[in-house]
Structure formats: structure tokens, C-alpha cells
């Protein structure tokens, strides 16, 4: 509902409830507030996808969760109805029937789409007595909405009626942007997408300048001369373009299609699902490529035996070597240039023993990715049938998950070592678990002071293919030794690759076993070897 249409609802609404007593207040729907009068029920609908107000002869209502509403409003008399400017905010001022104290209150209905709210304010000090939705500083930096807080109205949405036609800025903007709906609902208070589009179409059909159509609407608002009109896009306060007159404007029920809230939520949620599916498909493609490139254990053993049977086993610097097996078949064997032939042979023998485990891990990753993709595709197909509340819940959970991940990343900060190398250290068992098994990637170096219940330290390679120099390893070892609880003496620090660190079976968080380690000794008195 646009603010200008709310202006058109005020005159008939005043005829119905002004100087009338509210007999009962209840809940006709999840986000609805019903004010029962002798003649009928005024329903304030604060749903994000369909905010608006309607008048009905009878509505089934249940009790509101908080007794504050009924305590102040039942038996209270409506003294005035106000709309600040042309914004989507309605103030229903009540003189309470309470016997003691200054108990005049105002029911504030903010018909602001996704932020729609119903607020009960005490007039004496503008304190909020109750509200439908709490707004914390985490949600809005502009204001807080909660019981006990001083009520702060939402910010103005643009120029108030009376300043439209005389605004030089508006005229120049209209001329420069070639009739943009976004310009109108950003600059004009109470004008939303429905009214902005109707103004532009009316100007084109009538072959008049757009500023004249704006002036026509402004004049109707200032003179309270309304003729409610149902356009193809939604209700309007006056006749603009195609459509038909609205006989009973207070019977119009707003829908999510007119506000676009549900559409916005649906597009956001489906975009998140599609992005996650895309990431998983790329991950699955990588797993499939790795499975295709797996070398059989027999071939690894053959390569190892051929390297051991080669000549000078201490040779280094070769990236590959061609050797013939005992059947005369040639083998092109890839090598690690910084290792000797004997060391490369030992590496192939290890790979032969680990190939089965690696294949099982890849198959597990493949199955997990396929299952998650299937689940996400099902969620994507069901998304169009979700309600706004369900979409909101999904988006809320997603934002919480992202926020938690960001918080975890921020908690463990990188320590910058010489040459741009980075290391991360845990401060407790939980962070040790996170540093080792979530932040550590294959190839990174893992450090821990041997025999001490200290920190796990990860030295990140960050994509480097070369091994870190000795002084960098020593710096990372100093970090591990300095966090082991000892204050002096020589501390042995073990280090190995992350992939050789495993959780201890049935152990507590942070308890690990590791292999293929090397040891450096750190003198805490000199902070070095």
C-alpha cells in the first residue's frame, strides 16, 4: 500500500471510528490486529507481504499474547486519526478508559512492507508500551523499537506534498532521467512503485509533462479530494490511467503481488540456492577429475621399484624421468625435483598404500555432493510454493549461518611472519580443533610443542609450491613454544603436514595423533634455536 492511497482511506475511516469506543482488541491472523467497534472490526494487517488495513462487519479473533494491548485499548475512545505527511504511517489516538493517571495512548501502524509494525505508544513521554516486532540495533542503525524505548518515527521517504510542484530539483531530475519510476518513489513522500508507474503512464496517455501529473496528484492530496481508483498494478487515490473506481476502499485487501515483498524474498532465496548448487557442481567436477587421475597402486609400486633400480639414487632436480620396466615398456615418471630418486620412490610406495583410502575419501565426497545437490534442487523446486514467513525463516537461518562463519574467521586472527608468511594459533581446545581441521589445508605445516598441552599452530602455504625456509619454520615453532604454558627453557616443537594429523579416536576436541613429524628446539630465553 502506497502512502498516498492511505491518505484516501483516512476520510472514510474517520467516519467509522472517530469518537467511537474500542470494545475489544484481538488477533484475527498471525500478523493481524483487530480493533472491534460497535459497527465492525478494523483489521490492521502487518504481514510483510501484504500490509494494509481493512474494515469488516465481523472477524473471528483470538487473544493477543501480551495483555498490555487490551489493558490500554479496550474501552478507550478514538480521539483522532493522523497521517504524518503522506508516509505509510497511521496514528490512531486513544483516550484510555483507565481511572488513574494520564493514560492517553497512540496506536501506530507502520505499513512499511518488510518492516511493517504495530506499536503502542504512551503519549505522556512517547515511551513504547508494546510492539508487534522488536527492532534492535543489529537490524537497524537508525532506531530501536522495543518496550520501554522512546518511539522514533521511521525516516521520511521524500518531499512532502505541498513541495512537489515547486521543487526545482524534482523538475530537473525528471527532465534528466527521462521519466524514471524509481526517481518518483525515491523523491516523493508516499509515492511507491504502484503510484509512480501510474503517474508515468497517465502522463504518456494524456500527452502531458510528467510534472503536471505529479501536480494533479499533489493537489488532490492537499485538498483531500479523492476518488479511489483500482489500476492494473494496485489501488490509487485518484483516477490515473486504466482501471475502474473503487466503491468501498476499506474493503480492498492488499496482496503480496502488489507490494513485491514475497517476490523479493523468493528471488533472494532461489539465488542463494542456485549459487550453492553451482559451487557444489564445481566441487563435484573437481572430485570426478581427481578420481579419473587416480593412479593404481600397482603403477605406484612399479614406479617406486624402477626408481630404486635406477643408477644414482641421490640425484635431485629432475621433474620427470623415463625408465623401462622388465618387459621393455617405457614409463614417464613424474618427480618432485627437490627430492632424490630414493625419496621419490618412498613417496610412491606411500601413495600405493594410501590410494585405497584416497579413493574412498573421494567417493565419500562425491556421494555427499550428489546428496546435497539433490536436496538443494528439491528445495529450489519447492521455493515458489513457500509462504513469506517460510521464506523469511530460510533467509534468517542462512544469514545466521553466514554470520557464524564470519565470526569464527574473525576470532582467530593471522600472525604475519617474515616474508609475508601467515600462521594461525588456537587459544583453547575448540580453536585448536578449528585451526587444525578447518583452517588447515593439505600441504600446510602443523606445529605443536611436544609434551605440553599447548596451542596448535598452522603455517599457511597460501598456494606456494616451495617449502618454507628454515627461518620461517623456526618463527612458527617459536609461536607454538610460546603458547605451551612454559616460561623458560628449551622446548621441543614437532611439525608435520596437516594431512598427517588426525583426531584421536574417542578423544576430546583438540586431541590429535600425528606422524612423519620433524622436531626443532626452541630456547624460550632467546626465542630461537
pLDDT in tens, 284-300: 999 899 888 888 888 88
pLDDT confidence tier of residue 350, bands split at 50, 70 and 90? confident
- What span, in angstroms and rounded, lies between the C-alpha atoms of 11 and 19? 14
- Read off the DSSP letter of residue 528: B
- Separation of alpha carbons 188 and 196, rounded Å: 9
Distance CA 84, CA 116 (A): 16
445-464: average pLDDT: 91
The predicted model gives 136-145 an average pLDDT of: 86
- Tell me the per-residue pLDDT of 459-498, one tens digit each, with 9 for 90 and over: 999 888 788 999 999 999 999 999 888 878 889 999 999 9
Angstrom distance (rounded) from CA 402 to CA 407: 9
Average pLDDT over residues 438-463: 91
Cβ–Cβ < 8 Å for 528, 474? yes
Choose the weakest-confidence range: 21-30, 213-222, 271-280, 518-527: 518-527
Q: 26-35, 160-169, 267-276 — which is least confidently predicted?
A: 26-35
Nearest alpha carbon to residue 132 among 59, 260, 30, 265: 30
> 215 near 165, Cβ under 8 Å?
yes
Mean residue pLDDT of the chain comes to: 87
Distances in whole angstroms, Cα of residue 396 to Cα of each of 174, 265, 392: 38, 11, 6
CB-based contact 79:94 (threshold 8 Å): yes
- What pLDDT score was predicted for residue 43? 92
- pLDDT grade for 367, boundaries at 50, 70 and 90: very high
In the prediction, which pLDDT does 57 show? 84
Here the cell at position 1 is 500500500
Rounded mean pLDDT, 172-187: 82
Q: What is the mean pLDDT of residues 100-108?
A: 81
pLDDT given for residue 233 in this prediction: 79
Q: Mind listing the pLDDT tens digit for each residue in 76-102?
A: 999 999 999 899 999 999 998 775 656
The closest alpha carbon to 254, from 95, 87, 426, 112, belongs to 112
Strand 105-110 vs strand 117-122: parallel, antiparallel, or unpaired? antiparallel
Cβ-based neighbour number of residue 99 at 10 Å = 6
Q: Between the CA of residue 305 and those of 173, 310, 358, what are the distances in Å?
A: 80, 9, 22
CA distances from 266 to 3, 271, 385 (A): 25, 8, 10
Q: All domains of the chain, ordered by start, with CATH?
A: 3-131 (2.30.310.10), 168-261 (no CATH), 271-403 (no CATH), 412-523 (no CATH)
The mean pLDDT of 410-432, rounded to a whole number, is: 86
Quick one: pLDDT band at residue 259, thresholds 50, 70, 90? very low
Q: What is the mean pLDDT of residues 492-507?
A: 92
What pLDDT sits at residue 444?
Answer: 94
From residue 375, give the alpha-carbon distance in Å to each of 185, 224, 266, 370, 470: 40, 55, 18, 9, 48
What does the angle CA 190 – CA 194 – CA 199 come to, to the nearest 5 degrees? Answer: 85
Give the angle 456-459-465 at the CA atoms, nearest 5°. Answer: 145
Give the highest mean pLDDT range of 230-234, 273-277, 326-330, 392-396.
273-277
Amino acid at each position: 500500500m502506497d502512502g498516498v492511497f492511505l491518505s484516501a482511506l483516512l476520510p472514510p475511516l474517520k467516519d467509522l471510528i472517530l469518537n467511537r469506543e474500542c470494545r475489544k482488541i484481538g488477533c484475527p491472523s498471525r500478523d493481524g490486529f483487530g480493533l472491534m467497534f460497535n459497527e465492525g472490526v478494523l483489521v490492521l494487517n502487518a504481514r510483510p507481504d501484504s500490509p494494509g488495513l481493512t474494515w469488516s462487519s465481523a472477524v473471528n479473533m483470538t487473544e493477543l499474547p501480551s495483555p498490555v494491548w487490551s489493558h490500554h485499548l479496550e474501552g478507550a475512545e478514538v480521539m483522532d486519526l493522523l497521517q504524518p505527511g503522506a508516509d505509510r504511517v497511521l496514528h490512531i489516538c486513544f483516550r484510555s478508559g483507565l481511572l488513574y493517571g494520564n493514560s492517553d495512548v497512540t496506536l501506530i501502524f507502520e505499513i512499511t512492507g518488510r518492516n511493517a509494525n504495530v506499536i503502542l505508544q504512551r503519549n505522556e513521554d512517547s515511551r513504547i508500551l508494546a510492539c508487534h516486532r522488536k527492532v534492535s540495533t543489529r537490524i537497524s542503525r537508525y532506531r530501536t523499537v522495543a518496550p520501554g524505548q522512546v518511539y522514533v518515527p521511521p525516516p521520511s521517504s521524500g518531499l512532502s506534498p505541498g513541495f512537489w510542484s515547486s521543487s526545482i530539483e524534482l523538475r530537473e531530475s525528471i527532465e534528466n532521467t527521462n521519466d524514471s519510476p524509481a526517481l518518483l518513489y525515491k523523491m516523493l513522500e508516499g509515492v511507491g512503485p504502484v503510484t509512480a508507474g501510474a503517474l508515468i503512464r497517465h502522463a504518456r496517455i494524456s500527452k502531458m509533462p510528467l510534472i503536471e501529473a505529479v501536480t494533479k496528484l499533489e493537489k488532490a492530496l492537499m485538498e483531500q479530494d479523492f476518488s479511489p481508483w483500482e489500476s492494473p498494478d494496485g489501488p490509487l487515490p485518484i483516477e490515473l490511467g486504466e482501471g475502474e473506481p473503487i466503491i468501498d476502499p476499506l474493503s480492498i485487501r492488499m496482496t503480496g503481488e502488489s507490494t513485491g515483498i514475497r517476490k523479493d524474498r523468493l528471488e533472494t532465496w532461489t539465488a542463494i540456492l542456485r549459487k550453492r548448487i553451482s559451487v557444489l557442481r564445481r566441487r563435484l567436477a573437481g572430485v570426478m577429475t581427481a578420481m579419473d587421475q587416480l593412479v593404481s597402486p600397482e603403477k605406484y609400486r612399479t614406479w617406486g621399484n624402477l626408481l630404486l633400480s635406477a643408477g644414482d639414487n641421490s640425484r635431485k632436480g629432475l621433474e620427470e624421468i623415463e625408465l623401462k620396466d622388465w618387459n621393455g615398456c617405457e614409463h614417464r615418471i613424474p618427480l618432485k625435483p627437490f627430492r632424490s630418486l630414493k625419496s621419490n620412490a618412498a613417496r610412491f610406495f606411500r601413495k600405493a598404500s594410501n590410494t585405497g583410502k584416497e579413493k574412498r575419501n573421494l567417493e565419500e565426497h562425491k556421494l555427499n555432493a550428489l546428496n546435497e545437490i539433490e536436496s538443494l534442487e528439491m528445495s529450489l523446486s519447492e521455493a515458489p510454493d513457500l509462504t513469506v514467513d517460510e521464506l523469511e525463516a530460510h533467509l534468517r537461518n542462512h544469514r545466521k549461518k553466514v554470520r557464524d562463519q564470519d565470526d569464527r574467521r574473525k576470532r582467530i586472527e593471522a600472525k604475519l611472519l617474515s616474508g609475508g608468511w601467515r600462521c594461525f594459533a588456537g587459544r583453547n581446545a575448540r580453536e585448536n580443533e578449528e585451526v587444525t581441521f578447518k583452517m588447515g589445508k593439505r600441504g600446510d605445516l602443523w606445529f605443536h610443542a611436544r609434551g605440553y598441552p599447548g596451542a596448535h599452530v598452522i603455517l599457511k602455504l597460501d598456494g606456494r609450491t616451495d617449502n618454507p625456509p628454515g627461518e620461517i619454520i623456526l618463527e612458527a615453532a617459536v609461536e607454538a613454544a610460546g603458547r605451551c604454558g612454559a616460561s623458560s627453557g628449551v622446548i621441543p616443537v614437532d611439525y608435520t603436514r596437516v594431512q598427517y594429523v588426525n583426531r584421536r579416536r574417542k578423544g576430546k576436541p583438540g586431541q590429535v595423533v600425528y606422524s612423519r613429524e620433524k622436531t626443532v628446539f626452541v630456547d624460550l630465553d632467546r626465542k630461537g634455536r
